[in-house]
Every structure is written in structure tokens, then in C-alpha cells.
Amino acid sequence: MIPAETLIAADAAGPILKLEQPISFWGGIDPRTGRIADPGHPAHGRTIAGTVLALRQTRGSSSSSAVMLELMRGGLAPAALILAEVDAILSLGVVVGREMGYSPLPVLRLDAVAFATLPDGAQARIVPGGGIEIGPA
């Protein structure tokens, strides 16, 4: 198990989608499809819906919380967020979505060393108390 700091608690599981390159949710993620819409991003076209989305870094827009809220409303949000750097604006969208009654998703933070060990595509389960269990891909 990989220990992690819990920013927003909830249970979740899904395949890890690890993004090494920064992404902006505003313009970089299509809230109608849950797909990565930024044509310059290496993961362009992949869906974030239902994944354990691991983000090394985001490119900030104060609108990322609104995009996350739209993803949650449409059932296209990731199952969980794992951040190498805390993104308060993105996390705010999760908090607001929870308050509006949408399915909650956990938000965790890993340090750079632990983040580097996350295997893209492997199954992950967020466990109570702030841990991440990794299974086979």
C-alpha cells in the first residue's frame, strides 16, 4: 500500500490514468465527454471518466472547479484524484459537487517520490485512512 495524504475522503477504485504533463481542465478536458481535448497533450483523446486520475501538475484556471463540477454532474468525473501538487481550485469543484449531491470522489496527495511509483493502467483502490492499493493492470 502507498500511503497518501487525504484531502477529501471517499472510497473509490479504477484504473490509474497517470498524466506526467500538466493539463488545464478549462479547455483541456471536455466536460461533455470526459475526454482529454487538448490536442497538444500526450493523452489527447483518452477519457478520464471512472479512472483514478493521477496528475503530476495542473495548469491553473479558476474555471477548473466548474469543469470538475460539470464532469460530476454528467457522471463523467474520475473515480478519484491523486495529486502531486495540491490544487485547491480543482478540489473545490469536488467539494461543491459533493454538497450538490453528486457521487463523491476522493482527492489524495502524494509526494514526488511516491507519485513516480504509480503504474499507469494498473488497478488502484483508495482505502480508508489515506492509502492506495495497487493491483495488476
Q: What's the pLDDT at 22?
A: 92
Residues taking part in catalysis: 61
Range of the domain at 112: 2-134
The C-alpha cell at 56 is: 503530476
Backbone angles phi and psi of 135, in degrees to 5 = -115, -175
Q: How many domains does the chain have?
A: 1
* Residue 83 predicted with pLDDT over 80: yes
Say what the pLDDT of residue 71 is. Answer: 96
pLDDT at 130: 74
What's the rounded mean pLDDT across residues 50-58?
94
> CB–CB of 108/126 below 8 Å?
yes
Mean pLDDT, all residues of the chain: 93
| % the chain with pLDDT above 90 | 80
Using CA atoms in the order 120, 123, 129, 130, what is the torsion angle rounded to 10 degrees?
A: 10
Look up the CATH number of the domain holding residue 85. 3.50.30.10
Whether residue 23 is predicted with pLDDT greater than 70 in this model: the reply is yes
- Residue 15: half-sphere exposure toward Cβ, Cα within 13 Å: 9
